[in-house]
């Protein structure tokens, strides 16, 4: 039984097509699997192995190195609270404690209703906007306990909390697993040509041929 839905399988092939070697698509495909299911299942890894010419063990081997991939079900909303140095200085730990006590789970845990998973995070590149947290990898800058409470209330009642983020982000908040809401699409007639490295044996067209000039370094 294939794991990917048929539109996602088409998408997976389109992604693979953008790389000189299929294996390079492994991480994007793990993301796609997580987008479909909320986490990375065994069936997903088997099919990704098949699509990228690797083994399921290799897929797990790569995937398990990266923190964002979850190999067990997690909440619909992933809450990451940064406690690294800049956030620590301005209350990151207190914010994490507030999040943990409000939701009743420690870092790593998921609420009983399956809505929220909490994680203590390393620096997420919002240091001047400390303290900060993310929900499904969307930013909430200069956050307070009240910001977090309002975000939770929004999510519980189906509203998008992004306007509260102070991070220039707007629109909807997709469930855990989805990242960018826009996908790259390369129209077939606009492709420069992506081929395995072995099939390239000379400089690209816009460089002067070696016989015309000495060398360009």
Counting contacts by CB under 6 A, is residue 85 touching ligand FES?
yes
Cβ at position 199, least distance to other proteins in Å: 9
> What x/- string results for residues 165 through 194 when contact with other proteins is judged by CB under 8 A?
-xxxx---------xxxxxxxxx-xxxxxx
CA–CA distance from 122 to each of 21, 29, 84, 140, 209 (Å)?
32, 24, 5, 15, 48
Candidates 25-33, 37-45, 84-92, 106-114 — which segment interacts with ligand FES by CB under 6 A?
A: 84-92
CA-closest candidate to residue 63, choices 8, 23, 99: 23
Site string for ligand FES, 108-127 (x = CB under 6 A): ---------------xxxxx
Q: Per rule CB under 6 A, is residue 90 in the interface with ligand FES? A: no
d(CA 74, CA 22): 28
Among 6, 157, 205, 211, indicate the residue that binds other proteins (CB under 8 A): 205
Strands 138-140 and 133-135, bridge-based pairing: antiparallel
Is the Cβ of residue 10 or residue 21 nearer to other proteins in the bound state? 21
CB < 8 Å & 24+ apart, contacts of 102-105: 102/145, 102/148, 102/149, 102/152, 103/79, 103/152
The only residue of 32, 33, 74, 82 in contact with ligand FES, by rule CB under 6 A: 82
Phi-psi sector, 192: left (phi>0), alpha (psi -120 to 50), beta: alpha
Q: What is the DSSP letter of 182?
A: S
Name residues contacting other proteins, limited to 91-150 (CB under 8 A).
Answer: 106, 109, 122-130, 134, 136-139, 141-142
128-167 binders of ligand FES (CB under 6 A): 130, 132
Residue 166: exposure state from Cβ atoms within 10 A (0-12, 13-18, ≥19):
middle
Residue 107 neighbours by CB distance under 10 Å: 16
List, in order, residues 6 or more apart from 9 with CB less than 8 Å away.
Answer: 2
Question: Is 88 a binder of other proteins (CB under 8 A)?
Answer: yes
- Residue 24 binds other proteins (CB under 8 A): yes
Q: What is the biggest distance separating any 2 CA atoms in the chain, rounded to whole angstroms? A: 71
Among other proteins, ligand FES, none, residue 204 binds (CB under 5-8 Å by kind): other proteins
Could you tell which of other proteins, ligand FES, none binds residue 184, using a CB distance below 5 to 8 A set by kind? other proteins
Q: Which of 8, 41, 84, 160 binds other proteins (CB under 8 A)?
A: 84
Binding site for ligand FES (CB under 6 A): 82, 84-87, 123-127, 130, 132
């Amino acid at each position: 039984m294939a794991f990917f839905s048929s539109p996602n399988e088409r998408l997976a092939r389109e992604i693979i097509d953008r790389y000189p070697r299929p294996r390079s698509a492994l991480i994007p495909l793990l993301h796609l699997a997580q987008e479909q299911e909320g986490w990375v299942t065994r069936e997903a890894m088997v099919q990704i192995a098949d699509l990228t010419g690797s083994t399921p063990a290799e897929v797990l081997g790569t995937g398990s190195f990266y923190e964002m991939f979850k190999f067990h079900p997690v909440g619909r909303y992933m809450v990451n609270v940064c406690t690294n140095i800049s956030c620590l200085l301005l209350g990151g730990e207190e914010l994490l404690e507030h999040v943990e006590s409000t939701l009743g789970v420690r870092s790593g845990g998921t609420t009983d209703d399956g809505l929220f998973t909490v994680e203590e995070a390393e620096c997420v590149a919002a240091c001047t906007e400390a303290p900060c947290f993310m929900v499904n990898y969307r930013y909430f800058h200069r956050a307070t306990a009240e910001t977090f409470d309002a975000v939770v209330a929004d999510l519980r009642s189906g509203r998008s909390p992004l306007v509260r983020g102070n991070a220039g982000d707007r629109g909807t908040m997709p469930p855990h697993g989805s990242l960018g809401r826009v996908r790259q699409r390369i129209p077939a007639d606009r492709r420069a040509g992506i081929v395995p490295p072995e099939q390239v044996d000379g400089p690209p067209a816009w460089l002067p041929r070696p016989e015309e000039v000495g060398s360009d370094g």
